[in-house]
A and B are shown apart, each in its own frame.
Chain A
């Protein structure tokens, strides 16, 4: 993980207050000699919807499976409602898991799939039938009780898997990328169905996903994982607008990156003119930067594209950063024009409401509030480059 301190990470500041219902306390997990999670701590409030977000191999599914009880942490503990469940089998934790593949039992009907958990608990037949009917009504599966999973659509299977998990009235619902096997269009509606259901039942939910938008739309809080550690925890707005590290900024879509030379000075940060950027002064706003060389990140939609003559060369810009470049390519993905702009050796992507011709010299203006600054990871190199 890059050593950054751009925005102070405030993991607990925004979450609901009080004792967490589910607690992961300094849990480490390893496969053989590979450490997948290292001393990871996380608290989830009762009724909260938390998304574990990260790219593949970041440990998010491992964390979910550890919480569910399918993996044993080598150190640390898991607590539910103050009770230590670290050594408890999966069914003694009051949790139900919805699998990525749904893992429905193909030889059982929908009704038997949903009712199996209750059958295992030795519930009488009428009670099971009533609960199954209730689940079918809740999930819009009426009339499908006698079908086998193979006779259902992807969305219906997904709802059966949800019904099977919810039938046993778990305290915590664990969702392992439940939408990744659905068609893109169905996925959008199922997102809202699941989060509406979660709110209605008031159930605590942990949702693993690699889809940023899915996490943003569904979750109360997002946990961004990177290489087995938590990179940032916060509400969707926080992780989107105040990423605590370069990694989080990049993961949340701020893919454009430019190295800058900064002189810290009280209330305002003075950015020195460089090979590609004009001198600028922007509000410090609590940004704590250690070194002089910083990595600036911003989103393509947050920057504005102007013709090269729009800003006077010699004057330092206030509350915005101006970069000089040449348009390499313009395309129309819908709504806005997307431009690939060559800035020095690097290329960035900038959206604009109207098209600029390929080869045109342009100025890219990034407003101060859309600019994320982090201490550069490779300081020495960066400084050489800027001088």
Chain B
């Protein structure tokens, strides 16, 4: 497997993850970072990022994390870490083949997904792709969450 194939797999992992979020959230592709693996000149890794534009309220954040964690586990991924900090929680997992992923909450409660491939044979890497529709930003920075969802942005916690 080379970097191109790895990147494509990373894209599919992200597709699966975002599809599992119901009701769906709006998102955009983030920067794709490719680089040589340290100490090697023939292998490299790729990181794909996706940024969520839907406002996820602190009250619904737990549900969001729970949904993602359940999906990853049921896909056969291994949860490797969980930082449940109040302000910037994060969740880490690995998929078979040493793909490493994370869900992180950043400034203004924005959710970020990352998937990084293992070290693979060098190949030119295509732009991130998805089988779902995602707005393509022409220029400029990814905005803070700007889409309101009846479900995810709601201030009331779900009845447990």
B is a partner of A = no
- Residues of A bordering B, CB below 8 Å: none
- Residues of B bordering A, CB below 8 Å: none
